[in-house]
Amino acid sequence: MARDKWLHLIAGFLISLAVYFATGSVLYGYLAGTLAGVVKDVVWDLILKRGRFEVGDIICTSFGAWLVFVIFEWKGN
């Protein structure tokens, strides 16, 4: 996997983790991580043309957020 995709995955994970610890909700963490990826790629890359829009970036960011969801949901059950 390309370095850029790893960075998106890590960013989604960290955003989701931070929101989870702040709110206590893995769902909010997942949604925040995913939304951050969508906003970054749509606004920054596609609309403002400051980078290269890639759906794969959104998917990797969302996957990082999903990892937090899975880790802490399984831990809670």
- Kindly list the domain boundaries of the chain, sorted by start residue: 3-76
The pTM of this model reads: 0.92
The predicted-structure confidence for 5-15, as pLDDT tens digits, reads as follows 999 999 999 99
* Residue that the structure tokens 């610890």 belong to: 21
Supply the pLDDT for residue 74.
82
| CB-based contact 7:56 (threshold 8 Å) | no
Nearest one of 75, 68, 63, 76 to 28, comparing CA atoms: 68
Using left for φ > 0, alpha for ψ between -120 and 50, and beta otherwise, residue 22 falls in alpha
